[in-house]
Structure 1
């Protein structure tokens, strides 16, 4: 994390180093505006000694009439010496830089004026005079001088707003990071304080803060922004709804961008750049504002897209949260680019064919088109179904965006390059850190004898080939933690850059290295190739060399709670295995651990999948009914296969079974298969299960069991840690049961991982139970954790 923090500080310093006239945030207009304004007012007319074929500043700076008119008007209207010196220095810079000629001092020029050929009090902004050719020196009238200086004052003020509002976005991001950090510290304080309370009757000077925390958790931090969907896709599957606290930050960011884009414009009729064209002035300022703010958003885009980010460490936010912010910054930046391009297209509508020949113009067009394409190629359905293609397209389009943006602003002599290079630096540093982490962690895999991985499939069936178990030995000794995940590379494959995240299941710390165990469900791509290769081996095992990059993720402090409820679906079981492993180690190492009970609710469609995990990773816990010395119960809900298939599953686990009635089963220890109830029988559970609301979910509650046939039987085994149910549970009932089981000041941690609907149900159930009413508890007694990873 240290390199990340140093790097972010460097980015800020780079951006703060932006220099160049007109690109500072002014608290007042520069003194040079007096002379610049006079020059602008003089250009409303022309002089007979200006070469019409000369470059703009070459013609002006070589014109005796123009330069002497500038000198005399400066003497008359610029009242302070600072205005004269600053302004003349700037004009001389323009003449030398763009006209290749030095401008004499205004005193020298004024002394050479032929007074007999002098015309005073000329209003160059008068429509009847604009464009007039003078063959003599002139002195501006007060109206012309005011119009010129006011034009430059408004211009520099607008430039100040453009950049000031851009910095405002960085301030907002800084405040969000500060808030996230304080929120993390406050949550740690509440958990630590709650753990020190021995009874609910204990009087606390912070009891009112606990109520605030409860309301904060119930109404701000935990719930979805609206409705109850957060993990599930909304808006026809194209959008992810943020949580309420995420929504507040997103709303603040979007609102500030809209406000900053909409305010701070000043137009006036006598503007010498666009005389009498207030609409044109607005469009020009709006186009500049959106273009500049888009550039301010570029480094934010790249910062929020990286894996190695100090923001994650400071705030405790997940990668998914930062990725959500990244997508919203991208949407605003693209919208700003479109408005910027549309505005300039309107301004130059009569010269499009000519402008398209200019590099800055056509590169800007490409940049806007490419940025716009990033949005449809990043929608959630496309990301989830075609991730590898999405990633390739995303990287290519992002690279083209940066290159074309660099050429687009090249005419500004590097004034905007810091934003481009800051984005490049963020991207490059993230990749460098990835490579370093991967090499340091598993560098021995790159040697000729660098076999560091054993991949096995201990089970298979006709319809599913089984889970892959990877045992990877690191090159250095590390101490893993639950909740961590690693990106796995195959360095000697055809696509060595391809990598995917895998959650750590368990580990063994050795003398000089660490053995990490992963449970992989083969889908497609690399995992499918691994599966085929393993199955070709008669022993169903192969040796491999893999590179690991990590660890990433964060650990939820479930060990600080008295009871833990794990709600998992399908392959989400892999997320809780490392927690069970750690809690077992804690129970062995700590004489009296805080945690007193663990309950695992596992909802699974495939019985063979369930059998595989129960036979291996969960075997110890269901055999002993404990995780170390901590009482542990696993409730398995099988949603497919019917009663016969369920009985086959019970038998295949290798336990001795007996039969009993449902009523006796409730009091008997062991592995239990609940009977099929009428509500479940009404649905064909051999069909794929679909997401439904709570009213349509399948239930195995006691009231439902009474509706079943009295002749139904259950299979009881000698195991004390497993109960098998058929159908889907009601998540809300499971959470309420666990809360009702709390005694005294006991606290509950609810951790969910699995299908999106399961996590949304868990989130909504916890939010509902927060409060001070009947059957509700305060925020320090129950906390919700979510294990999820979203692209």
Structure 2
């Protein structure tokens, strides 16, 4: 406990030292003495210029200015006079709009003999303080009280700002650790030489590599440690599934979130210096209310740029750390909750003083958090998103208005929000233009993307096929817009399921056209103006409510079979990153329902790399497990997109039940649900016996994903084998 307190003290000290170099409008320690003097003198009334005007009197009334200089020379250390008078001059210009009378102009009144002749006033002398006619000195006790008041106020101001900076220090440390983890992982992976892709070569490749190098052993141990933090849920088996409507993080995510909550709570509670007799507020209660209100308000402001940054699609930290958007979205929600709670405490504290316009921002933030709970996000996502954006704008405007009286002091917290939001929206527009318009200078043509949509009632699947010049990769997802709808600003994320490269000959209907997944859709796409070198991207969508149901209804209006429609749909992307499955010896893909869309690109990518002699893929065997209630959809994908894969012996399939395993390339569909834990257990056992590295990847319903995650972690915990878990899922 003592060690923990010591570490906390060291942390807070470092934060204070770091922040003190970047704070504006903060008094330095060697300026406090003079500031305390003119704080007391400024409250007195002298005859002449500036009577009743605080700064005008301090800076331009000779009696008052002489009193400031005289008391400063009497009570302040000589080393503090020059910086203190410099601050005095700055305050006169900033707040009084006037230059202070210089010491040179008042030199005759500031000699030692002249100062000794000034009357000395005590704080209790109320009558002489009404209308003073000569320069004065204050008593030592009065000065000491004023200095303590000033010192406490300045200490709190520096501490508030420093603890606001602590939020950047915390999340900066988290991002740095994540970046270093990714860097170490990449280095470790590159040190592994490619193994043979020959299925007959089942030697203990990984074991040989570990024994050959102590470095590999260290990397293996490091990997084992991180997997115990990154893979298991904090409350197994819940991760993709909700527990009482709440998202359950992994262990490492839970540690980060819990640490953030604890640090935020502690920083709002420690290092206050109230005392009886304070010249600003004599009682301790209003001092505490004011300090708590300022502390929570400033930390809430400091959290806002983090909150906005973590919410964006174009988040550079995703690339640096390799974390999924869902991880940052999880952090985003907790930062929002902490900032909102701090804003509420800030408003309560100031309400004890006086009602302020900041309550509007606090109320808006509270509603944002309320409407961000999982029920709203999942049931009425588009309405949630619109409410979220509108209330966010209200928050920014209200906060600018709330702190306008501070002459831009808090703008450095607020303008980054505008910049982050504007930059993210600008990049979205750039992505949309880049994805959907293709300029071919040598042909002097401008091509745009056209979408062909079909709906198969038997498979209950919508296929959206769009031509683009962007080269696709596995693991990518795109946001789709239908711009000419009333709600054309809405965007909907979908995993890229399949693609094929287009050529002019193929679009003229000649032989060699790529498999499109639907003859009708293929003919519609072929009639578009897709040019050589472009790609036909396919998205498989299971219709639910909202926009997906709208697409289905558009197709059903057609008289063609299958139901088709030709619409203007815009792409925005690509987002997401390919998982490094090619670095593993064995790959187990587990899909549920339309989650097969995330797996097909990896299967086809493996086929492409396996046929390329220069490829560095390590994969010797790939197993696909796919469970779906709709057999028609499974047959359709097997006969079209996966047709080439079914002919390879290196790819094994398990569909619907664990009894239908084929090593010859054929596909058998049975009834029942696959036993995910048993499948992973068998794969882990085989990988351990052969010394192989195993990758397990899932995409599907929450229950299936959580079962796979839990089973993978149990396999890692019980076996000394190299297993990694990947999950393809959107985090809203």
Q: Same fold (TM over 0.5)?
A: yes
Q: 2-side partners of 1:450 and 1:166: how far apart? A: 47
**Cα 1:484–1:100 shift into 2, 3 Å:** closer
1:416-495 matched pairs, under 5 angstroms: 416-443=410-437, 450=448, 452-457=450-455, 459-461=456-458, 466-474=460-468, 476=469, 478-495=470-487
SS at match of 1:726: coil
Residue of 488, 491, 504 corresponding to 1:499? 491
Aligned to 1:600: 624
Aligned to 2:605: 582
SS at match of 2:670: strand
Q: 1-side partners of 2:162 and 2:691: how far apart? A: 51
**1:112 shift after superposition:** 4.8
Q: 1-side partners of 2:555 and 2:572: how far apart? A: 23
Aligned CA RMSD, in angstroms, stands at 3.1
**1:538 shift after superposition:** 2.3
Q: 1-side partners of 2:115 and 2:580: how far apart? A: 90
Q: 2-side partners of 1:295 and 1:347: how far apart? A: 20
Aligned to 1:105: 102
Q: 2-side partners of 1:596 and 1:18: how far apart? A: 55
Residue of 720, 726, 732 corresponding to 2:671? 726
1:140-179 matched pairs, under 5 angstroms: 140-179=138-177
Aligned to 1:187: 185
Contact between 2:449 and 2:467, CA under 8 Å: does it hold in 1?
no
Aligned to 2:728: 787
SS at match of 1:790: coil
Residue of 225, 238, 242 corresponding to 1:229? 238
1:579-624 per-residue CA deviation (whole Å, 9 max, x = no partner) reads: 11211211222388532222222222334443443443334444x3
**1:136 shift after superposition:** 3.8
Contact between 1:46 and 1:134, CA under 8 Å: does it hold in 2?
yes
Aligned to 1:560: 583
SS at match of 2:691: coil
Q: 2-side partners of 1:579 and 1:391: how far apart? A: 32
SS at match of 1:634: strand
Residue of 18, 21, 27 corresponding to 2:25? 21
Contact between 2:25 and 2:409, CA under 8 Å: does it hold in 1?
no
Q: 2-side partners of 1:127 and 1:619: how far apart? A: 98
1:264-413 matched pairs, under 5 angstroms: 264-275=271-282, 277-348=283-354, 352=355, 361-362=356-357, 364-413=358-407
**1:572 shift after superposition:** 1.0
Q: 1-side partners of 2:55 and 2:343: how far apart? A: 31
Q: 1-side partners of 2:731 and 2:322: how far apart? A: 16
Contact between 1:604 and 1:637, CA under 8 Å: does it hold in 2?
no
Q: 2-side partners of 1:519 and 1:386: how far apart? A: 22
Residue of 541, 554, 567 corresponding to 1:520? 541
**1:221 shift after superposition:** 1.5
Aligned to 2:5: none
**1:102 shift after superposition:** 4.0
Aligned to 1:530: 551
Aligned to 1:122: 121
Q: 1-side partners of 2:149 and 2:20: how far apart? A: 27
**1:218 shift after superposition:** 4.4
1:244 aligns with 2:255: no
**Cα 1:109–1:497 shift into 2, 3 Å:** same
1:614-639 per-residue CA deviation (whole Å, 9 max, x = no partner) reads: 443334444x3x3xx6333232249x
**1:172 shift after superposition:** 1.8
SS at match of 1:512: coil
**Cα 1:77–1:633 shift into 2, 3 Å:** same
Q: 2-side partners of 1:138 and 1:598: how far apart? A: 90
SS at match of 1:137: coil
Q: 1-side partners of 2:343 and 2:392: how far apart? A: 14
Residue of 691, 696, 699 corresponding to 1:750? 696
Residue of 190, 193, 206 corresponding to 2:215? 206
Contact between 2:59 and 2:101, CA under 8 Å: does it hold in 1?
no
Contact between 1:602 and 1:637, CA under 8 Å: does it hold in 2?
no
Q: Which moved more, 1:201-210 or 1:415-424?
A: 201-210
Contact between 2:57 and 2:64, CA under 8 Å: does it hold in 1?
no
Contact between 2:32 and 2:151, CA under 8 Å: does it hold in 1?
yes
Any stretches of 5+ residues in structure 1 without a counterpart?
1-14, 353-360, 639-664, 671-718
SS at match of 1:347: coil
SS at match of 1:543: strand
Q: Under a length normalisation based on structure 2, what TM-score does the superposition of the two structures give? A: 0.84
Contact between 2:240 and 2:703, CA under 8 Å: does it hold in 1?
yes
1:629-655 per-residue CA deviation (whole Å, 9 max, x = no partner) reads: 6333232249xxxxxxxxxxxxxxxxx
Q: 2-side partners of 1:96 and 1:632: how far apart? A: 79
Contact between 1:489 and 1:496, CA under 8 Å: does it hold in 2?
yes
SS at match of 1:589: coil
Q: 2-side partners of 1:185 and 1:94: how far apart? A: 49
**1:287 shift after superposition:** 1.3
**1:561 shift after superposition:** 1.9
1:34 aligns with 2:33: yes
Q: 2-side partners of 1:216 and 1:467: how far apart? A: 42
Q: Under a length normalisation based on structure 1, what TM-score does the superposition of the two structures give? A: 0.78
1:202-222 per-residue CA deviation (whole Å, 9 max, x = no partner) reads: 343136525633541442111
Contact between 1:44 and 1:130, CA under 8 Å: does it hold in 2?
no
Q: Which moved more, 1:478-487 or 1:207-216?
A: 207-216
**1:745 shift after superposition:** 1.8
Q: 1-side partners of 2:138 and 2:446: how far apart? A: 83
Contact between 1:473 and 1:515, CA under 8 Å: does it hold in 2?
yes
Any stretches of 5+ residues in structure 2 without a counterpart?
1-18, 195-203, 440-444, 503-531
Q: 1-side partners of 2:331 and 2:359: how far apart? A: 26
**Cα 1:562–1:790 shift into 2, 3 Å:** same
Contact between 1:118 and 1:137, CA under 8 Å: does it hold in 2?
no
Q: 2-side partners of 1:272 and 1:552: how far apart? A: 58
Contact between 1:636 and 1:725, CA under 8 Å: does it hold in 2?
yes
**Cα 1:751–1:177 shift into 2, 3 Å:** same
